[in-house]
A and B are shown apart, each in its own frame.
Chain A
Amino acid sequence: MEPGNGVVASMPARDRASEPAAGGSYLNREDRANLFRFMVMMRTSEERAITLYRQGKVPGSFYDGCGQEAISVGAAYVLGPRDRMCILHRDLGAHFVRGVTPDRYLANYMGRAGGVTKGKEGNMHFGDRELGCVGMVSMLPDMALVATGMAMAFKQRREPRVAMTFFGEGSTANGQWHEAMNWAGIHRLPVVFVLENNQFAYSTPNELEFAVDPVERAGVYGFPGVKIDGNDVEAVFEAARVAAERARSGEGPTLIECETMRMHGHGAHDDMSYVPEGMHEEWARRDPIDRYAKRLTEEHGFSADEVETIRSAVKAYVDECAQQAVASPMPEPDEGFAGVFADEPTPLGDGHAPWSHWAERTAEVA
Chain B
Amino acid sequence: MPELTYLEAISDGLREEMRRDESVLCMGEDIGEFGGAFKVTNGFIEEFGADRVLDAPLAENAIIGTAVGVAVEGMRPVCEMQFADFISCGFDQLVNVAAKLHYRQGVAVPMVVRLPSGGGFSGGPFHSQNPEAWFLQAPGLKVVAPATAADAKGLLAASIRDPNPVCFMEHKGLYRYVKGEVPEGEHVVELGSAHVAREGEEMTVIAYGSAVHFALEAAEQLDESIEVVDLRSLCPLDTDAILASARKTGKVLVAHEATQSCGVGAEVAALVAAEAFEDLDAPVRRLTAPDVPIPFSPPLEQAVLPQLDDMKEACRELLAY
Contact = CB atoms under 8 A, between A and B. Distances in A.
Interface string A314-355: 000000000000000000000000011111111110000000
B69 A142 contact: no
B282 interface: no
Place the interface of chain A in its size category.
Answer: 35 or more
Nearest to A144: B65
A139 interface: yes
Contact of B103 (A144, A153, A175, A340): A340
A163 B65 CA distance: 14
Given A149-B65, A186-B57, A342-B164, A154 B140 contact: no
B62 interface: yes
Interface string B274-314: 00000000000000000000000000000000000000000
A126 B65 contact: no
B106 A346 contact: yes
Contact of B163 (A84, A149, A186, A342): A342
Interface stretch (B35-43, B90-98, B198-206, B216-224): B90-98
A113 interface: no
A179 B61 contact: yes
Contacts of B104: 117, 120-121, 125, 135
A58 to B, nearest CB: 18
Given A179-B62, A183-B59, A341 B69 contact: no
A182 B105 contact: no
A149 B70 contact: yes
A356 interface: no
B61 A149 contact: no
B103 A146 contact: no
Contacts of B92: 139, 142, 176
B51 A129 contact: no
A149 B68 contact: yes
A165 to B, nearest CB: 10
B247 interface: no
B139 A340 contact: yes
Interface stretch (B11-19, B71-79, B123-131): B71-79
B106 A129 contact: yes
A145 B70 contact: no
B84 interface: no
B163 A344 contact: yes
A176 B103 CA distance: 23
A144 B92 CA distance: 13
Contacts of B142: 341
Contacts of A126: 105
Place the interface of chain B in its size category.
Answer: 35 or more
Contacts of B65: 142, 144-146, 148-149, 176, 179-180
A240 interface: no
Nearest to B105: A135
A176 B108 contact: no
A225 interface: no
B110 interface: yes
Given A340-B103, A345-B163, A134 B61 contact: no
Contacts of A343: 163
Q: Which of B96, B107, B109 has the most CB of A within 10 A?
A: B107
A10 interface: no
A348 B107 contact: yes
A212 to B, nearest CB: 21
B67 interface: yes
B243 interface: no
Interface string A116-136: 110011000111010000110
A347 B66 CA distance: 17
Contacts of A151: 69
A146 B69 contact: yes
Nearest to A156: B51
Contacts of B57: 179, 182-183, 186
B58 to A, nearest CB: 10
Interface string B4-15: 000000000000
A174 to B, nearest CB: 10
Interface of B: 25, 51-52, 56-57, 59, 61-62, 64-75, 92-93, 96-97, 100-110, 139-140, 142, 163-164
Considering the complex of A and B, which 8 residue pairs feature the smallest CB-CB distances, nearest first?
Answer: A149-B69, A145-B65, A149-B66, A342-B108, A153-B73, A179-B62, A150-B69, A342-B163
26 contacts: A116-B105, A120-B103, A120-B104, A121-B104, A126-B105, A129-B105, A129-B106, A134-B101, A135-B107, A137-B100, A139-B92, A139-B97, A142-B61, A143-B97, A149-B72, A150-B69, A150-B70, A179-B61, A179-B65, A183-B57, A183-B62, A340-B102, A340-B139, A340-B140, A341-B164, A345-B108
